[in-house]
Amino acid sequence: MNVLNVEISSYANYRSTKPVPVNLVKWLRFSRYAKEVAAIRATENKKERDKLKAGLPAITPSGLFSQREESGLVKHSGLIQIDIDGQDNRHIANFLEVKEQLKKLPEVAYLGLSVSGRGFWGLIPLAFPEKHKEQFEALRVDFAKWGLVLDEKPKNVASLRGYSYDPEAYFNPLAKRYTKVWQPKPEAYLGKNSNTPFGDEAEKVEACLAAIEAGRVDITGSYENWFAIGCALADEFGEGGRGYFHQASQLYPNYSSTKTDKQFTHCLKSRGKGYTIGTFYQLCRDYGITYKERYQKPPRMKQKHYCPAGNATAQTGSPSIVVQKADISPQDEGQALEGITSPQGEELPPAGQEVAQDEKRRALWLKWAKYYIVKGRMGKAAQAQKEALKWSILEGMPAG
């Protein structure tokens, strides 16, 4: 199949907006204005050159149009133009050499001199014409790797191509279709407030979100799901759930930070209308996501007051010392983590022996910190490190 044998729109000159259908192959081989092109190439004054160029006929090589603008596209030709001019590529000493190299690419269907003779342009068939802009961006990245700068204009499907003539033009009617599609990185959500969720429920949600990100799973497949997720997080965390909603939404191909923000604000107004955090967990389960594998209940902190050794009660005016007891359930999961074993629960020693056990408590919390770091739970690791620090620099500890 000849990829160049398609109908496109042509225009009487650069200023004309009235499209007329024309066969692309015939137009490319048309030599009627060869003398005018030669005169333009012989003109050194750019202003004069541009004036002469504007009088030549032109085409929109990417399709048939009802009017000369993007919204006027009737049918895509399946082709996109590339324009490599001297203005953007001043480092190129020999354009003909570059042309010879690009002719070796199987996706190039046409290459010819630009009307000014100071660069060249070409046509590449697209595998996904409906993703015209995204495929152009992918092409721009590829050409940049080869040290070539593509003109930005062909990103617009209605971009114009003025008549040119090149008796040595390259034709490849069996060119392969270019398949790369540029994927934009998700917009970064920077956050709007300091309402950071905390507690067991926040830990569970974070575990689910970590699993979603690790598996690159988009659980917002429909608007209903997306709305339900937002309402569930809003119901549980209020404004503090906004960041979670962005995390849950970022794997959607057309994710928009602005639209996600607007949706969550709407969800905040729907609190108490039947959506709960259980709604979020159920949607996660529908996609095989649970928090159980990643979530570990943190150690519960109990407070115990005690007195210096040998005293039955605290002396009047002396500060009471708070000893924090780590009530930690045994864990197996850490066994496989490069030999790091998760900390085991330990009872505090009897009153009077606390000072001798400070180092033991510090070591226990440091072990927890190391465990959390390996698990990627950096918030918990920081908390454990703070606890370890307490047992290193506690002030006011009574002497034994």
Residue whose pair of structure tokens reads 């690009």 in the numeric block:
102
Q: pTM for the whole thing?
A: 0.50
pLDDT digit string (tens) for 223-244? 889 999 999 999 999 888 888 9
Angle formed by the axes of helices 257-268 and 242-249, to 10°?
A: 130
Query: Residue 388: pLDDT above 80?
Result: no
Q: Tell me the mean pLDDT in the region 298-312.
A: 35
Residue 13's pLDDT is what? 96
Q: Check the CA dihedral 60-66-70-74 and report its sign.
A: negative
Which tokens sit at 387?
């606890």
The DSSP code sequence of 253-312 is: TT--HHHHHHHHHHHHTTTTSS--HHHHHHHHHHTT--STTT--PPPEEEEEEE--TT-S
Mind listing the pLDDT tens digit for each residue in 351-375? 344 444 566 676 677 777 666 665 6
The full set of domain ranges for the chain reads: 7-171, 200-286, 300-393
Hunting for tokens 């900390």 — which residue is that? 343
Mean pLDDT of 284-298: 69
CB 291 within 8 A of CB 204: yes
More confident site: 301 or 116: 116
317 pLDDT higher than 70: no
- Other beta carbons within 10 angstroms of residue 22's beta carbon come to 17
pLDDT at 364: 75
What is the percent of the chain where pLDDT is above 90?
44
- Residues forming beta bridges with residue 73, ordered by sequence position: 65
Going by C-alpha positions, the residue among 171, 47, 40, 45 that lies closest to residue 115 is 40
Distance CA 227, CA 275 (A): 10
